[in-house]
Structure 1
């Protein structure tokens, strides 16, 4: 099978998997309906069961889809900018920086709820530049980026946990961000997240060509007329935006932005014009799957999707690290 047909088939398969997981997520719980009844209840006539599912589950499902897409694409962009296949907004501290500011706003100024993604974005920018500057030593070493990111991540995670303790563990506020728990998320959260994610994904797709050029040596890219430093900064800000807005609503999720891009490269290759949209769909599917597993694995109790991703992503990260000889320097 040639690459073009493989890419088309991969897009079809991942889209079908997302649709199937959507139906499974809708019917996961004490109340379930058929596809026909769901469609009729949503678009034709009122149905009490469908209305209940719509109010309780749909907002959570859409948050999982939007946040998963945003985090996965953010991982693609960071890996392109840093030329580091191990880069992930959760691992290198971007998500924890955004989460810290989101926690701060939630605890100190809850009336600014709808502006939380904007404040979280500034927190993500601060974390990114901390990692970038602290790991710079005559150039950027992939290993130094990871180690510095882990330290920055620990710093912001610790401070956020302290705020969580001082807030009394309010699950609908600070704790939901710290623990990446989306149990009580509502349609207000969806409406807050939606425009930022759409804007970020559109910008990411528009800069897909520049991401391809950044994969070349800097001298080669400059020879093609690319302002490498400016392009790197712009794409970094898009990546921070996507990671931060997802974190502001869904909490800090690690490894999603690491796993999905690698899977994407297997199926559609390294061309970012294909990799970015594929990663968006695959990220939505992966996060929705993790959240659905978390809802069922210990029912009636729940396990956060962040925990599910850590259990899966930790070994995946170790495997990548062991297989990448150049990171041993």
Structure 2
């Protein structure tokens, strides 16, 4: 009598397992948020956090919570959601586990427009999200065109994205050299950080996050059909190219809104959806919320580590993500090629 062969895929396909992992991601997101609210130059107990959120007696610690940490944590959570969703969408429509808004150049398109506005028209900072969206969308279209040769191949997407990212990054560097007297405000934008983020930045990003999330949820059925392959998807009545254009626009909106607030924060869109997919599978009905919760946990926790690891000096969250994200990218590159 043969013993049953253990297969990870069989475990991952079970609905109870998927719901369990989704619940774990939700708990991780909540714990990371509470950890980020409580830890810093001044530690705040969880009981004080609860009291501060339910009353309006503004003591010193409550002032710190409401005016400094809470908007920063909210922005970190929304950025985590946006970049994770953008990565999940791009990996699906391009059928490439290495696709990420930062790696394939979408962030650079958004970043170039953002730097132009910040350096040349600083009084128009409020239009950065809209400008960054058009920059991201333009970069996505350019990458798509360069990578197209009788269809889309994963390697061409990565190579075209790296080339476009390097090209746009060069123009960002040129602008910073020519306007070196104004470069201080753009430095954090280039690195990617949450320092000094306020309620004004929350107002800038939340509507784009909400719209992007709603569009991503609405497009889960399309994404699942695309996973079957282009020919099968066409046979089921799906307009493949139109779907790719629409979902690329959604990913660009999500990535651009995140870039406009925190700058060029990389690797979130690569690590988070890939890790979620390894544990929960390819079903976008579950992958979307899983990426959201895990994105919140990764960004808020990384930001807290950046604040604490060399306190009182603060390391931007973009640096922390680069330290852990680059080895993960190399691992994926060797695994997939």
Relative to the length of structure 1, the TM-score reads: 0.94
Q: 1:298 aligns with which of 297, 300, 310?
A: 310
After superposition, what is the alpha-carbon deviation per residue over 1:70-121, rounded to whole angstroms, capped at 9, x for unaligned?
0001001001111111100000000011011011111222222222111100
Please state if 1:43 is matched with 2:54.
Answer: yes
CA–CA distance in 1 between the matches of 2:334 and 2:87?
20
CA–CA distance in 1 between the matches of 2:238 and 2:159?
30
Equivalent residue for 1:96?
108
Q: 1:208 aligns with which of 210, 220, 223?
A: 220
Please state if 1:168 is matched with 2:178.
Answer: no
Q: 2:150 aligns with which of 135, 138, 142?
A: 138
1:45 CA displacement:
4.1
Q: What do you get for the CA RMSD once the two structures are aligned?
A: 1.5
Q: Is residue 167–residue 174 contact of structure 1 (8 Å, CA) maintained in 2?
A: no
SS, match of residue 143 in structure 2:
helix
Q: 1:257 aligns with which of 245, 265, 269?
A: 269
CA–CA distance in 2 between the matches of 1:42 and 1:170?
37
Equivalent residue for 1:14?
25
Range with bigger deviation, 157-166 or 294-303: 157-166
Q: Is residue 31–residue 53 contact of structure 1 (8 Å, CA) maintained in 2?
A: no
5+ residue gaps, structure 2: 1-10
1:179 CA displacement:
1.8
CA–CA distance in 1 between the matches of 2:174 and 2:195?
22
After superposition, what is the alpha-carbon deviation per residue over 1:192-242, rounded to whole angstroms, capped at 9, x for unaligned?
100000110110011001001111221111110111111111011001110
CA–CA distance in 2 between the matches of 1:169 and 1:71?
28
Q: Is residue 28–residue 293 contact of structure 2 (8 Å, CA) maintained in 1?
A: no
CA–CA distance in 1 between the matches of 2:268 and 2:195?
19
5+ residue gaps, structure 1: none
CA–CA distance in 2 between the matches of 1:45 and 1:56?
16
Equivalent residue for 1:196?
208
1:34 CA displacement:
1.8
Please state if 1:23 is matched with 2:34.
Answer: yes
Q: Is residue 115–residue 172 contact of structure 2 (8 Å, CA) maintained in 1?
A: yes
Equivalent residue for 2:6?
none
1:16 CA displacement:
1.3
CA–CA distance in 2 between the matches of 1:253 and 1:300?
22
Ranges of 4+ aligned residues in structure 1 off by more than 4 Å: none
SS, match of residue 85 in structure 2:
helix
Change (3 A) 1:60 1:161: farther
CA–CA distance in 1 between the matches of 2:159 and 2:149?
13
SS, match of residue 63 in structure 1:
helix
